Chains A and B, each alone.
Chain A
Amino acid sequence: NAGVTQTPKFQVLKTGQSMTLQCAQDMNHEYMSWYRQDPGMGLRLIHYSVGAGITDQGEVPNGYNVSRSTTEDFPLRLLSAAPSQTSVYFCASTGTGRYEQYFGPGTRLTVT
């Protein structure tokens, strides 16, 4: 199993540009989530999904959209990037009835 994969690893955007961060897992996990990590602030939950077709907001959802059309994929969309969205983004997944969250390798995003 590849586990949780994320692409790209690094990305530089200009203010106002849009992009999609990709996340995929091959463990048939129902629960998937997106976090952002900023210095001194730990990891903050952006959006999460408990299964295909079901998504909900976390602590800091503004400026981000998500969708879950398949169990495997959970992309995060930035519609109009802002410098405040410069961060490291982690995707994670958990199996139903399980507790451990498995994290992807992260995407480092810079918005200029």
Chain B
Amino acid sequence: GENVEQHPSTLSVQEGDSAVIKCTYSDSASNYFPWYKQELGKRPQLIIDIRSNVGEKKDQRIAVTLNKTAKHFSLHITETQPEDSAVYFCAASWAGGATNKLIFGTGTLLAVQP
């Protein structure tokens, strides 16, 4: 089955710096790669996702890149702000038809220092 590894487990940056979180997946059939942000005591919220037919996707200060050959994908946050502090999870799945079994990484605690 699918296995997703995520690094680093914790990341501390200064406000305004960039942050990068990396994930690798094992199942070459996976075709959907979302990133979730989770604040303390809250539910995971989708912040960006990418499908396997795309190499990069941007949404304002966040971007995701996908390397299918190497089976890894990364989250990039530029111009970090204190409100970006949270736990970030990557996930992978084969999404098609009626199913979407997400397998999650173990999370990265991002701390943005003012």
Contacts and interface: CB of A to CB of B under 8 A. Distances in A.
A17 interface: no
Interface in B81-107: 89, 91, 95, 97-107
Interface in A42-77: 42-45, 48, 50-51, 58-59
Interface stretch (A19-27, A78-86, A93-101): A93-101
A3 B44 CA distance: 14
A96 B100 CA distance: 9
B43 interface: yes
Interface residues of B, number: 26
Contact of B100 (A40, A42, A44, A99): A99
A99 B97 contact: no
Contacts of A59: 1, 103
A101 B46 contact: yes
Interface residues of A, number: 27
Interface string B46-69: 100101000000000000000000
B51 A99 contact: yes
A51 B101 CA distance: 14
A39 B49 CA distance: 24
A71 to B, nearest CB: 12
A42 B104 CA distance: 6
Contacts of B103: 45, 59
A104 B46 contact: no
A99 B43 contact: no
Given A43-B44, A106-B43, A101 B98 contact: no
Given A43-B89, A43-B104, A100 B46 contact: yes
Interface of A: 30-31, 33, 35, 40-45, 48, 50-51, 58-59, 90, 92, 94, 96-97, 99-101, 103-106
Interface of B: 1, 6, 9, 32, 34, 42-46, 49, 51, 89, 91, 95, 97-107
16 contacts: A33-B100, A33-B102, A42-B89, A42-B105, A43-B91, A45-B103, A50-B98, A50-B99, A59-B1, A59-B103, A94-B95, A96-B97, A96-B98, A99-B100, A103-B45, A105-B43
